[in-house]
Amino acid sequence: MSCLQKQGTYYRNDFLQDRSETSAIVRITNRKEDSNRQIERRFKSQTQKSYTLTFSAVLHRTTRLFDCTAISRTFSSLLHPKKCLLRHYNIIMIFRYLWTDYLSLLRIQQKKKKMIDDMVLDKFLDSPLLQIDNIAERVCLKEGKDYAEFKKEALNFCSDWLKGNRFLQVGLIHLDGNNNLPEGCLVRCHCMVQDIRGVEYFAKMNTQIQSTDNNSAVSTETGLFRDYLSTLNYDSFVGDASTLDTRTVYTCISIPGETSWVKEILRQQYNFENTTCLEESYEFSQNKRAKVDDGESNTQQSRMQKRWFIKICEEQEPLKLNEPVEIVGIYQQGVGENSFPFSTIHVMAVRRSRITHPDFKEFNSLSCDEIRLHCDVAAARQNLTVSFQKLLFGDQLAAEYLLCHLVSRVFKRVNSTNVGSLTLNFYDVDEQLVNELNNFFDLILTKKVFVDFDTDVLNGQSFRPRKDYESDQEELLQSCLQLSDDTQMIIHDRLIDDSKLDSLGGTIAQLMEEKSVEYVYGMQTVSIPADINVLVLSRQKSALPCDIAIRLRKNNEIENPVENLSNDTIANIRKYMSLVKILDFNIPDNISERIQQYYVKMRQDQGGQSMNADQLNKLLLLARCLSLSEGNTTLDWDTWEKAVKMEALYSTTV
């Protein structure tokens, strides 16, 4: 027998012995004994290089499982290309043996972790405040850390707990509903920020010692997600930086103008059949023209919807006025002595989304290709134009302009000038068309409001939200123009002329021209941006400022398009209307150069009646809307020529 064969026999026997030792380690581990064993052998190749192989199994006393990180690191070293130790049969056997045990223990660990997570989930859903108090007791009393460490750990715990599908496992409520909610329960809601109330102070926490004959118990109550501490004597409480913390308070309402099909989808998705929802009414009709002063009128409007307070600690990005959000928090019933009842949600998590469709709340944006995966853009556009044409007496040009109006939005603001919105006026319309368009918009849009007024209503009604500093709550009185972005407004204009418009009626004009609404705060006014699409329907050409005013050509009778639309087609149209509006848009350099050449040529050919800059901007806006309606994010020359033809046809109707 050669020296090399003797050496191989020696190593083979040695490896078999090592394997038995490793089996002993695993057996010891299975007996739940805390051990840390190492198997170390030195190998020598023909080139006399030395390698060291170490297997480490570390057992934790708490989990009684292997340290997965240490074992994974050891296995990674075995697979290192320079060491090539897995060529040896005995090492392969040891590797397979330990790897089998490792996977088995890993499965046990994952199963155990899932059971623990499910237990925490159930406990937190049932009693969230108790779990927060337990964190405070552990961090502050047992570990001796300060309030800042507790606050950080509590907020991180809430953030981690609500990741993934857990956000949707929290019960959804409707703010205007008759919600019989238990105190301190976990709730979720869709709402709009109606007022920013500012910062409030609250007591950080209170520790109470309850002594009995035999022992004493210590209980901790934190104010992080509470309005007040039940165990704290506020009469003798001294508030300073060491005992007080701050949070931001907002007033929220249900999203104005949210259509019924959106609420129905939410009911089906999140199963809140037991919640009674009160439908909002945003119709200001001629029968509601009671002669009241601004204060009384605004007060009536402010009671249109139930208000809730939401309170947020440690905001990364403050909420904006009129911003629609989805929140999860702890519910508490209001205990104020004033006449205005209120409830509070102490917010644990906030989710924002640019997409208004309820099926896409988890997405903040989607690319063009992703949108085409979710809906058939071409089919939706074709069905919409045909439906609009049936509604608008067969007027194809009006149908195209209406579609462009619906997909338009403000994408850029320069001082008081907005870029992207397209206000539209259809005139020579009757009551039937007004009702049919209103009903069809309810079917396909996520947010829509209808305002029906004449000159008396317009001038006698304050459309500007106003801060009432004389009330106990100092509330912001809501008006019909306080809406979230991407809301569609239909105005039924009854014979408005310039001579009868006063300063209050000018608020509508400001919304249409500048896409902003003035808010009255005491002696000063503040202009708040409002990306609201406005469609004006009138018998005569409206005096309100519109980008496009089209007199409808009554080629046919009005047809009801809904009869020919299946449920799948309507669902596809709803997705289309919500998704194409969020697409970004750009004009390639080569197209931009051709447009400049076209503009110069038009000015040279037309002379005194040449195209001006405003007309060019209107053409660019129309081309942008046409591109977005087709699901495209870049402008091509065919779309530009289509916009030019539409503008030429429109000029013949003016």
Do residues 380 and 552 make contact, with C-beta atoms less than 8 angstroms apart?
no
Helical (H) or strand (E) element with 221: strand 216-222
What pLDDT does 496 receive? 57
304-336 pLDDT, tens digit per residue, is 467 899 999 988 889 999 999 999 999 988 654
User: For residue 353, which of 166, 168, 190 has the smallest C-alpha distance?
Assistant: 190
Average pLDDT for residues 132-156, to the nearest whole number? 89
Question: Residue 313: how many CA atoms within 13 Å on its side-chain side?
Answer: 24
The pLDDT of residue 52 is: 36
By DSSP bridging, strand 417-419 and strand 244-253 are unpaired
Residue 205's beta-bridge partner residues? Answer: 222
How many Å apart are CA 425 and CA 541, to the nearest integer? 8
Helix, strand, coil tally for the chain in percent (to 5): 45, 20, 35
Task: Please give the order of strands across the beta sheet that includes 524-529.
Answer: 476-477, 466-467, 516-521, 524-529
Nearest to 553 by CA among 433, 406, 382: 433
For the cut 80, the answer to whether the pLDDT of residue 643 exceeds it is: yes
Q: Give mean pLDDT, residues 123-149.
A: 86
Q: From the CA atom positions of the chain, what is the Rg in Å?
A: 34
Residue 507 pLDDT more than 70? yes
- Length of the chain as a residue count: 654
Q: Mapping DSSP to helix (H, G, I), strand (E, B) and coil, where does residue 128 land?
A: helix
Residue range 579-603, pLDDT digits in tens: 999 998 999 999 999 999 998 888 8
Distance (Å, rounded) from C-alpha 644 to C-alpha 615? 11
Over the stretch 246-267, which tens digit does the pLDDT of each residue have? 999 999 999 999 999 998 888 7
Which of 20-24, 307-311, 312-316, 569-573 is the most confident on average?
A: 569-573
Confidence band of 31 (pLDDT split at 50, 70, 90): very low
Of 401, 423, 425, nearest in space to 647 by CA: 401
Give residue 260's Cα distance to chain centre.
19
Q: At 243, is the pLDDT very low, low, confident or very high (cuts 50, 70, 90)?
A: confident
Q: Which residue has the higher pLDDT, 51 or 528?
A: 528
Judged against a pLDDT cut of 70, whether residue 167 lies above it is answered with: yes
Per-residue pLDDT, 299: 39
368-390 pLDDT, tens digit each:
888 888 999 999 999 999 999 99
For residue 344, pLDDT over 60 is answered with yes
In angstroms, rounded to a whole number, what is the distance separating the alpha carbons of residues 561 and 513?
A: 32
- Can you give the pLDDT at residue 347? 94
% of the chain residues with pLDDT over 90: 35
Lowest mean per-residue pLDDT among 95-99, 206-210, 372-376, 438-442: 95-99
Helix 431-444 and helix 260-270: axis angle, to 10°?
20
Picking from 233, 282, 287, the residue whose alpha carbon sits closest to that of residue 259 is 282
pLDDT bracket for residue 396 (50, 70, 90): very high
pLDDT at 51: 36
Using pLDDT thresholds of 50, 70 and 90, give the confidence band for residue 300.
Answer: very low
CB 338 within 8 A of CB 373: no
d(Cα 112, Cα 106) in Å, to the nearest integer? 10
Give the list of residues 6+ apart from residue 330 with CB closer than 8 angstroms, or none.
Answer: 128, 129, 184, 185, 186, 187, 225, 345, 346, 348
Contact 303, 156 (CB under 8 A): no
Helix (H, G, I), strand (E, B), or coil: what is residue 559?
Answer: coil
336 Cα distance to chain centroid: 31
Phi, psi of 38, rounded to the nearest 5 degrees: -130, 135
SS3 state at 346? strand
Q: Say if CB 483 and CB 449 are below 8 A apart.
A: yes
pLDDT digits (tens, 9 = 90+) for 433-479: 999 999 999 999 999 999 887 765 665 566 889 999 888 778 899 88
Q: Residue 230: name the closest of 286, 185, 298, 184 by CA.
A: 184
The pLDDT score that the predictor gives to residue 76 is 54
| Residue 172: HSE in the Cβ half-sphere, 13 Å Cα cutoff | 21
Phi first, then psi: what are they for 230, rounded to 5°?
A: -70, -25
322, HSE (Cβ side, Cα atoms, 13 Å):
22
State the amino acid at position 606 in one-letter form. Answer: Q
pLDDT of residue 322: 96
Bridge partners for 309 per DSSP: 251, 344
**Who has greater pLDDT, 492 or 234?**
492
Least confident of 68-77, 212-221, 428-437: 68-77
- SS3 of 381-446: the string is HHHHHHHHHHHCCCCHHHHHHHHHHHHCCCCEEECCEEECCCCEEEECCCHHHHHHHHHHHHHHCC
Instruction: Please check the confidence at residue 350 and state whether its pLDDT lies above 60.
Output: yes
Say which range, 137-151, 201-215, 463-477, 539-553, has the weakest mean pLDDT: 201-215
Q: How far apart, in whole angstroms, are the C-alpha atoms of residue 211 and residue 203? A: 24
pLDDT above 80 (res 515): yes
Whether this model's pTM surpasses 0.85: no
Q: What is the pLDDT of residue 274?
A: 37
Q: What is the pLDDT of residue 542?
A: 87
More confident residue, 292 or 642: 642
Distance, CA of 327 to CA of 447 (rounded, Å): 19
- Greatest Cα-to-Cα distance within the chain, rounded to the nearest angstrom: 118
491: β partners: 451, 536
Q: Of the segments 38-47, 489-498, 515-524, which one has the largest average pLDDT value? A: 515-524
- A 10 A CB-CB count for 127 gives 15
pLDDT of 293: 33
Contact 606, 616 (CB under 8 A): no
Q: Enumerate the H helices of 86-146 as residue ranges.
A: 89-126, 128-136
